[in-house]
Amino acid sequence: MEIKFVTTGGTIDKAYSKSKGTYNFDIMSPSICSILKNANPNFEHEVVSVAKKDSLDLTEDDRQLIFDSCKRIENKRIIITHGTDTMIETARKLSTLKNKIIVLVGSSQPERFKETDADFNVGCAVGAINVLSSGIYIAMNGRVYRWDECRKLDSGHFVEKQGQNKPL
Amino acid sequence: MEIKFVTTGGTIDKAYSKSKGTYNFDIMSPSICSILKNANPNFEHEVVSVAKKDSLDLTEDDRQLIFDSCKRIENKRIIITHGTDTMIETARKLSTLKNKIIVLVGSSQPERFKETDADFNVGCAVGAINVLSSGIYIAMNGRVYRWDECRKLDSGHFVEKQGQNKPL
Amino acid sequence: MEIKFVTTGGTIDKAYSKSKGTYNFDIMSPSICSILKNANPNFEHEVVSVAKKDSLDLTEDDRQLIFDSCKRIENKRIIITHGTDTMIETARKLSTLKNKIIVLVGSSQPERFKETDADFNVGCAVGAINVLSSGIYIAMNGRVYRWDECRKLDSGHFVEKQGQNKPL
Amino acid sequence: MEIKFVTTGGTIDKAYSKSKGTYNFDIMSPSICSILKNANPNFEHEVVSVAKKDSLDLTEDDRQLIFDSCKRIENKRIIITHGTDTMIETARKLSTLKNKIIVLVGSSQPERFKETDADFNVGCAVGAINVLSSGIYIAMNGRVYRWDECRKLDSGHFVEKQGQNKPL
């Protein structure tokens, strides 16, 4: 198995800038690298960084860049770390890509926090991508959804759209 | 979705006893509880503790107990946290159970460590159980295997048995 | 020994607001409580929260409040957790208080981060307060300074003022 | 200020051996290195590893080695990371060394644990060594004791010997 990881920023990748006193993305390496280091994975993987932004700040150009990166990648399996606010928009943009299994994943607390959902969520995406067939998916809160069958609540939780409960 | 978690001990649940100067299982609550607390899951779940042992110390009676617990559980989806050394033996014991999706998972570093694969691995099991059909599986090192299609190397890594590479 | 901890906000107490995508101070309990829980301390202590602000946002009124709190406290030993940017200003404000040992301490990475200097720095303040005589001190970067014998570099490091190297 | 750190093993330095299923000291670098990396210290320091043992396993030869190392060190300030069980015995051995400030410190939970007293305790030793005058001290549980004025309870806590409450 081979997985290509595409990083785009989002809460999962936020660090803390002591000079500015706020969160930023000035980190040496994306959080996915720490996660994979601890996970000791038995699959080939490569990490490519496409953007470093809050997902609310991603522009149409950024989404085109993510799309182009995914199209260019020859692996069948792609996991995109992404801010949760516009994860579904990016998934829609990618939905014309065929013959690929793409899972978007993020976290509600930065990976650098002691108490974070980052490792669990990425694990979830990786576990699912072992089994899923082609399509664009979102892995959040321990659930794996087809991108067009879920929505994000104000609380931050992802849930299925009403009436959408069929197994993947 | 509803998942029942069955804990049996193993590295994932090891704490440190300052009086004895070594690792033990004298913890208030199994590590799965911390993992789920951070994960903020959007699925119903319950945790039942069946054993608190290194998996090398699990007896045939213990395995019978694990089997009986799984049989009694009405949920379709069960995740068992387990020591890695005899994970495959326990999986074999469970292999006569039909109509259930059972995933065994553990870790190579205790969940209480800063650098642990516990959260990622449990995430992996949860992600896979969203998608898997009935059967007994092992989720380790970012891979999900049918229990009889993997083996454990001396290094601790789980790999597919030679010639077993078909998709799940 | 008895120590009163006064919390005022600052980087050490920063949490992450998933709804706003940035840091905040909306935490259930100040970071000093987690630090002391892990430290398993053998001294009496109490925590009082006076402000929850970036130290750049502390007003003269806030400083008066901190001063009044310290004056009212009957313990001889007080440790104040504080943002690093205006730590020296607050120390100056407190410098008329006599017969007390007051140590100001903060961190350059929030306590909630995996990689943080918070526990070490607070430990440093506590270790020093075991030994110090009356006065107002700053404990940062493993050093303990009289408040008027140190300055903060742009890098965030605290150093002694030129020519100030006499032992405490 | 310059501090020499001497490591001897003990709980603070324990790692986890996944092959043996128990703790060991086979770590690349002593825990003091991680602690100092996070602490971002503003003092010169060097780390020398003299032993890697549970303190109950330290022999008279090991103690002689620790003594010789401390004697050879030209710095005035030395911090020794040490198992807590025989910390007082090692301190006694060192008590003939004059003109040095030596602080012994350890932890009740390994530094590699998420919930550990290691960073706080080492901070405590560093904070105290800024201020202490010559002598052999023990820094545990947020307290700094002259080595011959404390004892260890079965609970693991260090407390002053009865009647010993004079300031350092």
Task: Give yes or no for residue B27 having a pLDDT over 70.
Answer: no
pLDDT bin (cut points 50, 70, 90) of residue D142 is very high
Is the pLDDT confidence value at D102 over 80?
yes
Residue A160 CA to residue A158 CA, distance in Å, equals 7
Residue A14's nearest CA partner among A2, A37, A31, A1 is A31
| Whether residue D24 has pLDDT greater than 90 | no
- pLDDT at position B14: 93
Mean pLDDT over all residues of chain C?
Answer: 93
- Split at pLDDT 50, 70, 90, the class of A163 is low
The residue among A3, D37, A100, D43 whose CA lies nearest residue B143 is A3
* Inter-chain touch C113–A154, beta carbons under 8 Å: no
Q: What is the pLDDT of residues B114-157, one digit of tens each?
A: 999 999 999 999 999 999 999 999 999 999 999 999 999 988 89
Q: What percent of chain B shows pLDDT beyond 70?
A: 95
Give the three-state DSSP class for A4.
strand
What does the pLDDT average to over C54-77?
Answer: 96
* Least CB–CB distance from D156: residue in B18, B23, B156: B18
Distance CA C133, CA A70 (A): 64
DSSP per residue, C39-88: H--SSEEEEEEEEEE-GGG--HHHHHHHHHHHHH---SEEEEE--STTHH
Cβ(A97)–Cβ(A124) below 8 Å: no
Contacts of C54 in chain A (CB under 8 A): 21
Chain D residues whose CB is inside 8 A of the B83 CB are 21
Confidence of residue B21 (pLDDT cuts 50, 70, 90): confident
Interface with chain C: mutation pick from D5, D122, D130, highest number of C CBs within 10 Å: D130
* CA atoms of A124 and A141, how far apart (whole Å): 9
Per-residue confidence (pLDDT) for residue B166, from 0 to 100: 65
Residue C20: per-residue pLDDT: 74
Cβ(C18)–Cβ(A156) under 8 Å? yes
DSSP SS3 for D12: helix
- pLDDT, tens digit, 9 for 90 and up, residues A130-142: 999 999 999 999 9
> D60-90 pLDDT, tens per residue?
999 999 999 999 999 999 999 999 999 999 9
The three-state secondary structure class of C154 is: coil
What's the pLDDT score for residue B164?
62
Asked whether the beta carbons of A75 and A3 are under 8 A apart, the reply is: yes
- pTM of whole model > 0.90? yes
Mean pLDDT of C159-166: 76
Helix/strand/coil percentages in chain A, nearest 5: 30, 30, 40
Cβ pairs bridging A and B (under 8 Å): 131
For chain D, the straight-line distance linking the first and the last C-alpha, in angstroms and rounded, comes to 20
* pLDDT in the model for residue B165: 62
